[in-house]
């Protein structure tokens, strides 16, 4: 299968501090990758570079055969194909859950209102909150909000989904309901890059694991090898601490 995302020698600095160092990464269609690592290791920055919420200074990022750089004219077109789920949900608080889900399909993908609402209800049913469609984000629990955020991203019918620590801001009992939705999504064949510390989830769905530390990819391996037989000492230390 072809690579849908390719990163070659990507470097990024925040002022003088280098957050990403020579990142090489290839993601195939339908591949699921879980990125883990200590905080400040550049995991979030890495996936935020993929839809250019952050810009990189050196190297190449190619998403769906389009190179992303300062010259990319229609970065919005790439972003519409890459769904993203955030740690803090980032639902639009002034819009109902349904409007959250239909806004971008109507105004970016130019769907008719009726079509967009059908699509939204379908995705809300998929994440099992169709009965909350007319409520506002502030009236939902954290787990429901995060599922709504996943539904909102899915309504753009993206080719790739990026998850930036989707369960880190949730109460323990709500983590499972969000992970269930993500497992379901993975089984449906979505290409996914997930930054998370949920190792149970990683073992269940990931094809490949990536361990990052201090802006570098320290280890990239098949999931089974990664957990059973990690090569670098840094990975061993990290795994011993969180497992």
Partner 1 sequence: MNLIILKPNKENLHSYLALGICLLSIGFLDIFSSIFLNLNITFFLPSVISYLSPLILSALGLHFIRIEYSGNKTLDKINKNLNSSNFNAIMSLIVIFVLIKYVPPLLNWTFFDANFLGNTKEDCTGEGACWVFVKVWFNRFMYGMYPNVEQWRINISFLILLCSIFSIFILPQKYKKYIILFLLFIFPVIALNLISGGILGLKWIETGAWGGLSLTFIVSAFALIFCFPIGVFLALGRRSDLPAIKYSSIGFIELWRGVPLITVLFMSAVMFPMFLPDGTYMDKLMRVIIAITLFEAAYMAEVVRGGLQALPRGQYDAAKSLGMGYWRMHFFIILPQALKLVIPGIANTFLALVKDTPLIFVVGLLELAGMIGLAKTNPKWLGMAAEGYVFAAFVFWVICFTMSRYSQNLEKKLSTER
Write down the least CB distance from residue 42 to partner 1, Å.
17
Shorter beta-carbon distance to partner 1: residue 57 or 88: 88
Cα–Cα distance measured from residue 239 to residue 243, given in angstroms and rounded to the nearest whole number: 6
> Which span (12-20, 21-29, 46-54, 192-200) binds partner 1, by CB under 8 A?
46-54
> Which span (59-67, 112-120, 121-129, 136-144) binds partner 1, by CB under 8 A?
136-144
Write down the least CB distance from residue 200 to partner 1, Å.
27
3-state secondary structure of 21: strand
Q: Which strand (E) or helix (H) includes residue 183?
A: helix 172-187
Shorter beta-carbon distance to partner 1: residue 86 or 201: 86
Query: Is 198 exposed, middle or buried, given 0-12, 13-18 or 19+ CB atoms closer than 10 A?
Result: buried
Contact pick of 104, 121, 199, 239 for partner 1 (by CB under 8 A)? 104
Provide the sign of the torsion angle of the four alpha carbons 146, 150, 151, 156, taken in this order.
positive
Name which of residues 149 to 188 contact partner 1 (CB under 8 A). Answer: 149, 152-153, 156
Residue 35 binds partner 1 (CB under 8 A):
no
Contact pick of 34, 82, 97, 124 for partner 1 (by CB under 8 A)? 82
Strand extents, DSSP E, 112-201: 160-164, 191-195
Residues 6+ apart with CB under 8 A from 81: 63, 64, 156, 158, 159, 160
Contact pick of 62, 103, 121, 199 for partner 1 (by CB under 8 A)? 103
Write down the least CB distance from residue 84 to partner 1, Å.
4
Write down the least CB distance from residue 104 to partner 1, Å.
4
> Which span (35-43, 112-120, 148-156, 215-223) binds partner 1, by CB under 8 A?
148-156
Cα–Cα distance measured from residue 129 to residue 171, given in angstroms and rounded to the nearest whole number: 18
- CB count within 10 Å of CB 196 equals 21
Cα–Cα distance measured from residue 172 to residue 230, given in angstroms and rounded to the nearest whole number: 28
Contacts with partner 1, residue ranges (CB under 8 A) = 48, 51, 53, 76-77, 79-84, 86, 88, 90-94, 103-104, 107-109, 136, 138-139, 149, 152-153, 156
């Amino acid at each position: 299968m072809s690579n849908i995302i390719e990163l070659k020698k990507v470097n990024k600095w925040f002022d003088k501090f280098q957050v990403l160092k020579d990142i090489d990464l290839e993601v195939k269609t339908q591949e699921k990758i879980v990125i883990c690592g200590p905080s400040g290791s550049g995991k979030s920055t890495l996936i935020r570079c993929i839809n250019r919420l952050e810009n990189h200074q050196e190297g190449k990022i190619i998403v769906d055969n389009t190179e992303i750089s300062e010259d990319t004219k229609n970065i919005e077109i790439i972003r519409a194909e890459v769904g993203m789920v955030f740690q803090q949900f980032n639902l639009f608080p002034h819009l109902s859950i349904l409007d959250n889900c239909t806004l971008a399909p109507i105004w970016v993908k130019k769907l008719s209102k009726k079509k967009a609402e059908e699509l939204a209800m379908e995705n809300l049913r998929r994440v099992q909150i169709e009965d909350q469609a007319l409520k506002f984000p502030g009236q939902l629990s954290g787990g429901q909000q995060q599922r709504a955020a996943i539904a909102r991203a899915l309504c753009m019918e993206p080719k790739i989904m990026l998850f930036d620590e989707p369960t880190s801001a949730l109460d323990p009992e709500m983590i499972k309901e969000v992970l269930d939705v993500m497992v379901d999504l993975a089984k449906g064949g979505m290409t996914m890059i997930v930054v998370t510390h949920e190792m149970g989830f990683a073992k269940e769905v990931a094809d490949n694991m990536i361990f990052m530390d201090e802006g570098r990819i320290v280890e990239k391996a098949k999931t089974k090898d990664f957990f059973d037989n990690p090569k670098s000492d840094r990975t061993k230390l990290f795994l011993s601490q969180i497992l």
